[in-house]
Structure 1
Amino acid sequence: MYALLILDIQVGLVHGPEKPWRCTELLETVNALMDKARSAGAPIFLARHIGPAGSPIEPGSPLTLIAQELKLQGGEVVFEKRRPSAFEMTGLADNLRSFGATGVVVTGMKTQYCVDSTCRVARDLGFDAVLIADGHTCSDTPVMTAKEIVAHHNATLDGPFCKVVRAEEWSF
């Protein structure tokens, strides 16, 4: 069984000063994936990235709350993380296994940080990792556009680290 993992779709990233590329489409895609997961009885996990005290995303900051555009229904597992990998110091691997999940479907933000790290670590921990090609995003950087970053990571991660599929092609 695959679990859906949604990374860092939180107020500070969705509504922050650096606008994520294709954010509206991403939110629609993630909501549709949650519907698919619920229909199949697959667990849904949402990570919230928390920073150190004094940072804009310190514990308790409203910027760390899940973006209101996500249609949560109360059965999801929401957890905090402090590192790019959602597995690092979170208990996520044990929680996935307790739900019977042998695979994880990765979505969210930001592509070059948390999405990349989580895909790489999932496979190392023995999970079948799937990255939704149109289910992650970031913002432009001085070196690359967000569109280029997403395309680069889809190409780089596909195969050695995970299977990359489009949302409409995925079923739980």
Structure 2
Amino acid sequence: MPSAQAKRPALLVVDMQVGLFNGPDKPFERERVLENINQLVRRARQAGVPIFAVRHTGPAESPIHAGSPLWQLLPTLELDEQHDTLFDKTRPNCFFGTELAERLHAADISQLVIVGMKTQYCIDSTCRAAADLGFAPVLVADAHTCMDTPVLTAKAIIDHHNATLNGAFVRLENTVDIAF
């Protein structure tokens, strides 16, 4: 892990897409989570902190295939495609098959503030990978979400991941406590 004195942050917004956010199964507390993410985007921009946004790309037969309306990032997400870095992925881990790690290293980023969807897939695998790659990941406890499953409620999934990832893989913080 990089030393505490040299941590340069970036914000990573994961899979905040029309088809996932507005699909038939609605994410847990989705409007609150979106507002928290937008607060972090505004604060990161004000502090001059780089913002990276990733969008999951499904295969051609998927509702979230490249270019489809459901694949697009939410129009209410306060990103600026002229200044923020947007990239696509095909796996839950935001680092796998992408240039994310290289871009972070090139920008001397050592701390990654992670928000978005879905908790048990892309958030979990990206947090673990970020830690394994030597970044200092911060998971924003109240700025990631998912949907209920047949086995667990979304709240239980989120609470479980916050508890499991905290310490071993990430530092857990709430939106209000993030200082860029």
TM-score category, normalised to shorter length: over 0.9
Shift of 1:60: 1.5
* 1:50 alignment partner, one of 20, 35, 57: 57
Question: Which runs of 5 or more residues in structure 2 are unaligned?
Answer: 1-7
Deviation at residue 23 of structure 1 after TM alignment:
0.5
The 5 A counterparts of 1:128-139 are 128-139=136-147
Equivalent of residue 153 in structure 1, options 148, 154, 161: 161
Aligned to 2:91: 83
SS at match of 1:90: coil
Q: 1:11 aligns with which of 7, 18, 41?
A: 18
Moved over 4 A (4+): none
SS at match of 1:52: coil
**Residue deviations 1:27-51 (CA, integer Å, cap 9, x gap):** 1000000111111111000000001
* CA–CA separation in structure 2 for the residues paired with 1:71 and 1:56: 23
Q: Which amino acid aligns with 1:90?
A: T
For residues 77-122 of structure 1, give each alpha carbon's deviation from its aligned partner in whole angstroms, at most 9, with x where no partner exists.
1100000000000110011112221110000000000000000000
- Counterpart in the other structure of 1:37: 44
Question: What is the distance in 1 between the residues matched to 2:111 and 2:105?
Answer: 9
Aligned length: 172
Q: 2:33 aligns with which of 26, 32, 37?
A: 26
| CA RMSD between the two structures | 0.7
TM-score by length of 2: 0.94
Is 1:66 matched up with 2:73?
yes
Q: Give the unaligned 5+ runs of structure 1.
A: none
